[in-house]
Chains A and B, each alone.
Chain A
Amino acid sequence: MRTSTFSHALLGFTLLCMTQGVLAHRVNVFAWTQGDVLHTESKFSGGTRVHFGTIRVEDLKTHDTLLEGKTNEKGEFSTTIPTGFDRTHGLKVTIDAGEGHQSTWTVLPEDLTAMPVVTGKAIPAKPQTSTLKRPAGVTLSEADLEAIDARVAARVAAEVAPIKRDLAQLATPAITLKDIVGGLGWILGLFGVGALVSRKKGPSA
């Protein structure tokens, strides 16, 4: 019996070792805004990109589908933030990678309403022109200040976009050795308790 248990443990351990450096299988979608543009990136956990998966963008509250698109070979899909919906509702971005693989990402209303004005059509950015100080001897019209605002906003949005992307990706933690060992411990523990209980009850009928 001892040899038998040892061999089973060896078999299990061999399978566990085979998992080193391999990729896991769960689809994730990340979305972030850059000015008026919504960027998305979809990949299986472990890094494989979702090629030509379907991205669906919905109103978070009404669940109306606002647009659909396909990811490219890098798993990316970018689009102008749709118009014709209430930005205070937020957005739900769904990746459908086929074969039952699906995941969603929520774009919060504050990411949409605090969006810097780049096109001039969107909601006004928070720092108003009245707060800017004009250097002595320089005359700037309101139009000039608005143009500066727009350029600064666009620049900031471009600088911040990679940080937003990294933050989005960090929101879905990768599978760690801790998860694997913890899961194995739970499984063996559960069946161990089952064996203990059945032994206390006596031999099965």
Chain B
Amino acid sequence: MHIAEGVLSAPILVGSAVGALAAVGVGLRKLPDEDLLTAGLIAAAFFVASLIHIPIGVSSAHLILNGLVGIVFGWGAYPVIFVALLLQGILFMFGGLTVLGVNTLTMGTGALVAGFVFRLMARTHATPMNDVAAFVAGFLGVLVSALLTAVALGASDEGFVAAATALFVAHLPIMLAEGVITLFVVRYLRRSSHPALLKGLRP
């Protein structure tokens, strides 16, 4: 879902770059120092997830995992995603430097919303509701990012409705896949010795 260079107009690029800078700044302030190494590992997972590609009809899409990043880090998702996107742009030529801001905002905001919803739904004690919360968060992370990407594209000549429809159709399997993956990762994190990673479940 990376928007490529040369697609968006200058005001959107500049505006989103400023917005992303602010969001990354807030994220860095909210990211506890002791979580930095974990942030590196989650950023690494986000970085390689973009290589897991699923052909869908005439198009193609890849895993994003931003819902998981949001569950673990909340606002801290912005700097995590920013670093991963920066290196995806440099090494894989996904997206690019001029669109780094808009891509950070779309992916990071999806993560933020996913994390927020997870915190609303999840409980500290084990309950089936936690599985539902994790699935919904994984699903929502991609959905919100797709909608925001459509908004950015809609401001160019692609048109919001056309872009949103195409993105939704192309990413529906990804949303479902991410919901399931997030469910299992959250389950794993809860059962392992470090449930503190799931901040929404902290008492």
Contacts and interface: CB of A to CB of B under 8 A. Distances in A.
Contact of B92 (A24, A101, A192, A204): A24
B127 interface: no
B37 interface: yes
Interface string A78-104: 000000000000000010011111111
B193 A15 contact: no
Interface stretch (B17-25, B109-117, B136-144, B162-170): B162-170
The 10 closest A-B pairs by CB, nearest first: A191-B40, A100-B3, A198-B33, A51-B58, A195-B36, A23-B53, A4-B194, A19-B51, A179-B91, A102-B4
Contacts of B58: 51-52
11 contacts: A4-B193, A12-B44, A15-B45, A99-B167, A100-B163, A179-B91, A187-B83, A191-B39, A192-B36, A199-B33, A204-B34
B52 to A, nearest CB: 5
B129 to A, nearest CB: 23
A27 interface: yes
Contacts of B32: 204
Interface string A178-191: 01101110111011
A103 B48 CA distance: 22
B44 A184 contact: yes
B3 A12 contact: no
B47 A183 contact: yes
Given A12-B41, A103-B4, A183-B87, A26 B36 contact: no
A68 B67 CA distance: 38
Contact of A25 (B50, B84, B185): B50
B25 to A, nearest CB: 14
B40 A187 contact: yes
Contacts of A204: 32-34
B1 interface: yes
B14 interface: no
Interface string A30-70: 00000000000000101010011000000000000000000
A175 interface: yes
A22 interface: yes
Contact of B60 (A11, A23, A102, A195): A23
Interface residues of B, number: 53
A46 B55 CA distance: 11
Nearest to A20: B51
A46 to B, nearest CB: 6
Given A25-B62, A98-B158, A191-B36, A15 B92 contact: no
Interface in B94-132: 94
A3 interface: yes
Contacts, number: 149
Secondary structure dominating the interface of B: helix
Interface of A: 3-5, 7-9, 11-12, 15-16, 18-19, 22-27, 44, 46, 48, 51-52, 94, 97-104, 172, 175, 179-180, 182-184, 186-188, 190-192, 194-195, 198-199, 203-204
Contact of A22 (B2, B7, B44, B52): B52
A205 to B, nearest CB: 10
Given A19-B52, A25-B50, A187-B83, A11 B188 contact: yes
A26 B154 CA distance: 21
B41 A11 contact: yes
Contacts of B153: 99-100
A25 B47 contact: no
A170 B25 CA distance: 40
Nearest to B94: A26
Nearest to A172: B93
